[in-house]
Chain A
Amino acid sequence: MKIALTVNGVAVTREVEPRRNLVDFLRYDLGLTGSHVGCEHGVCGACTVRVDGTPVRGCLMLAAQADGCRVETIEGAAESGAIARLQRAFRAANALQCGFCTSGMLLTAQALLERHPDPDPVTIREAIGGNYCRCTGYHAIVQAIASAASDRSAPAAPTPADGQYVGRSVVRPQTARLVAGRGTYTDDVAVPRLLHVAFVRSLHAHARMVSIDTAEAAALPGVVAVVTGRELAGRCEPWVGVLKNYAGMKSAPQYPLAVDKAVWQGEPVVAVVAESRALAEDGCARVRIAWEPLPPVVDAEAALAPGATVIHPELGDNLMLEARVKAGDVDAAFRAADAVYRDTFDTGRHTVVSLEPRVVLADYDPADETLTVYHSGQAPYMLHDILSRHLRIPEHRVRVINKDVGGSFGLKIHTFPDEIATCALAVMLGRPVKFLADRVESFQTDIHSRDHRITAEVAVKRDGTILAMRLDDLAPVGPYSMYPRSSVVESGQVLRITPGPYRFRDYEARGRVVFQNKTPMSQYRAVGHPVAALVMEAMVDRVARELGLDPVEVRRRNLLTAEMYPYTAPTGLFF
Chain B
Amino acid sequence: MPALNLRLAAPRAVIDINRVPDLDGIRLSPEGLVIGALARQEALERSPLVREHAPLIADAVPHVGHAAIRARGTVGGSLALADPAAELPACAVALEATIRVGRRGGERDIAADDFFRGIYTTALAPGEVVIALRVPRPEPGWRWGFQELARRHGDFALAGLAAGARVQGGALAETRLCFFGVGTRPVRARRAEAALAGRRADEATLAAAGRALDSDLDPPGDVHGSPALRRHLARVLLTRVVRGLVDARP
* A interface residue numbers (CB < 8 A to B): 18-19, 21, 40-42, 45, 48, 54-57, 59-62, 64-65, 108, 126-127, 129-131, 281, 285, 438-440
**Which of B50-58, B61-69, B109-117, B166-174 lies on the face that meets chain A?**
B61-69
Sample 21 A-B pairs with CB under 8 A, ordered by A number: A18-B14, A21-B5, A41-B1, A41-B2, A41-B5, A41-B6, A42-B2, A54-B42, A55-B71, A57-B69, A59-B1, A60-B69, A60-B72, A61-B72, A62-B16, A108-B67, A108-B68, A126-B67, A129-B153, A438-B6, A439-B6
**Residue numbers in A under 8 Å from B153 (CB-CB):** 126, 129
**A42, B1: Cβ atoms under 8 Å?**
yes
- Is B4 among interface residues, defined by CB-CB distance under 8 A? yes
Distance of A40 Cα from B1 Cα, bound (Å): 9
Q: Which 7 A-B pairs have the closest CB atoms?
A: A130-B66, A41-B2, A60-B1, A40-B5, A54-B71, A55-B68, A129-B66
Q: A40 contacts which of B6, B65, B71, B152 (Cβ < 8 Å)?
A: B6
Extra inter-chain contacts (14) besides given A55-B68, A108-B68, A130-B66, CB under 8 Å: A40-B2, A40-B5, A41-B2, A54-B71, A59-B1, A59-B5, A62-B14, A65-B18, A108-B67, A129-B154, A130-B69, A130-B154, A131-B66, A285-B7
Cβ–Cβ contact B6 & A56, under 8 A: no
Give bound CA distance, A438 to B66, whole Å. 22
Using a CB–CB cutoff of 8 Å, the interface residues on chain B facing chain A are: 1-2, 4-7, 10, 14, 16, 18, 42, 65-69, 71-72, 152-154
Contact status of A64 and B6, CB under 8 A, knowing A45-B68, A54-B71: no
List residues of chain B with CB within 8 A of the CB of A45: 66, 68
Do residues B68 and A56 form an inter-chain contact, with CB atoms below 8 A? Answer: yes
Per DSSP, chain B at the interface is: loop
Least distance between A90 CB and chain B CB atoms (Å)? 19
CB distance from A87 to the nearest CB of B (A): 20
Verify A127–B2 contact, CB threshold 8 A. no
A42 to B3 alpha-carbon distance, docked (Å): 11
A40 vs B5: C-alpha distance in the bound complex, in angstroms? 6
Option from B6, B7, B18, B67 in Cβ contact (under 8 Å) with A127: B67
CA of A323 to CA of B127 in the docked complex: distance in angstroms? 64
Taking the closest CB of chain B, its distance from the CB of A22, in whole angstroms, is 10
Q: Are A55 and B18 closer than 8 Å at their CB atoms?
A: no
Q: In the bound complex, do residue B1 and residue A21 qualify as a contact, i.e. CB atoms below 8 Å apart?
A: yes
Tell me, in angstroms, the Cα distance from A48 to B66 when the chains sit together.
12
B147 shortest CB reach to chain A, Å: 17
Are A48 and B1 CB-contacts (below 8 A) given A41-B6, A440-B6?
A: no
Q: How long is the Cα–Cα vector from A337 to B7 in the complex, in angstroms?
A: 60
Closest to B10 in A: A285
Query: Once the chains are docked, how many angstroms separate the CA of A233 from the CA of B74?
Result: 50
A230–B67 alpha-carbon span in the complex (Å): 49
Which chain B residues border A438 with CB–CB below 8 Å? Answer: 5-6
B68 touches A57 (CB 8 A): yes
Among B7, B18, B71, contact of A56 (Cβ-Cβ < 8 Å)? B71
Q: A61 to B2, alpha carbons, bound, how many Å?
A: 10
Closest to A127 in B: B67
* Chain A residues, Cβ within 8 Å of B72: 56-57, 60-61
Residues of B with C-beta under 8 A to A19: 4
Chain B residue nearest to A125 in the complex (CB): B153
How long is the Cα–Cα vector from A45 to B42 in the complex, in angstroms? 17
Give the complex CA separation of A540 and B69 in angstroms: 45
A65 and B154 alpha carbons, distance in the complex (Å): 25
Interface residue from B7, B16, B66, B154 paired with A64 (Cβ < 8 Å): B16
Smallest distance from the beta carbon of A37 to chain B beta carbons, Å?
9
Tell me the bound Cα distance from A17 to B215 in angstroms: 51
Q: Is the CB of A281 within 8 A of B2?
A: no
A168 to B9, CA, bound (A): 53
> Which residue of the partner chain B has the closest CB to A58?
B68
Establish whether residues B16 and A42, one from each chain, have CB atoms under 8 Å apart when the complex forms.
Answer: no
A65 with B6: CB separation less than 8 A: no
